[in-house]
Amino acid sequence: MEGAEPGDAVAVTFCAFHPLGWGWTANIPGFGLLAEDFPDPALHIWDYGASLSKPAAFAPMGQVALKPFVGTIGLALAEPGLHSVVPPRRVGGNLDIRDNCTGTTLYLPVEVKGGLLSLGDTHAAQGDGEICGTAIESPMEVEIKVELIKNAGFAFPRLETAGPVTNHIDGQGYRITTGIGDDLMLAARDAVSAMIDWICATTQMSAVNAYMLCSVAGDLRISEIVDAPNWVVSFYFPKSVLA
């Protein structure tokens, strides 16, 4: 971006998404929050209307409201060398923030001259946490507006949304499970495992399918982090998915 210098920020506004109407979700061995519990590969192919007017069906049961967004978007790091795209960084990258959707403006700190913006990893839907490591991974075209903010001084990415961020899924309420302990990662695993058990017990869905469905539709939240030594992590699963 012409004129971008270290210390500036690039503002990216997501104007529109044009998906092709299909995507995939996978359990990849060795990857994901519950990798030890799900060592075998699994794949689900999604087929949905490109107009996004109806939820995507999940066989043999379930439906997921669609909310396209960019999973990976960022600028170049100042450090020389090759860098994996897997971990997110202070300049952005593999953020997987589902609210990087239509109407949102994302602010990225500049570390090199020109900024060097890139984006990809587009998703049709994802829950907060992307717990199995994949969302509804979908090819699509993205329309963006890019602006330069001089001397912004941001240390990390920031976002501004254009409106509410859950009203596409929460009309029927949620099922909520929790994990509690002195390790946030372990508490997160316990909360998700409890939800998978709940879904399997009430629907006869396979555990790996419930795991993938939680990844695209459920939200991990830190509910309490101040009452040491134990913290509370909650997992919110929209009732509308299995209505």
For the segment 170-212, what is each residue's pLDDT rounded down to a tens digit? 899 999 999 999 999 999 999 999 999 999 999 999 999 999 9
**Token output for 118:** 């890139």
pLDDT at 36: 97
Low-confidence ranges of the chain (pLDDT < 70): none
**Token output for 76:** 């170049």
Residues whose CB is less than 8 angstroms from the CB of residue 116 and which lie 6 or more positions away in sequence, other chains included: 75, 76
What's the N-to-C CA distance of the chain in angstroms? 47
For 133, left (φ over 0), alpha (ψ -120 to 50), or beta?
A: left
State the span(s) of the chain assigned CATH 2.60.120.580: 9-160
Q: Which fold has domain 174-242?
A: Endonuclease I-creI (3.10.28)
Is residue 104 within 8 Å of residue 8, measured between CB atoms?
no
Torsion angle in degrees (nearest 10) through CA of 104, 129, 92, 108: 30
Q: Radius of gyration of the chain from Cα atoms?
A: 19
Q: How many Cα atoms are found within 13 Å in the side-chain-facing hemisphere of 214?
A: 34
SS3 13: strand
State the span(s) of the chain assigned CATH 3.10.28.20: 174-242
pLDDT at 154: 94
CB atoms within 10 A of CB 182: 10
Print the SS3 string covering 103-118.
Answer: CCEEEEECCCCCCCCE
pLDDT at 21: 95
**pTM for this predicted structure:** 0.94
Question: The domain at 9-160 falls in which architecture?
Answer: Sandwich (2.60)
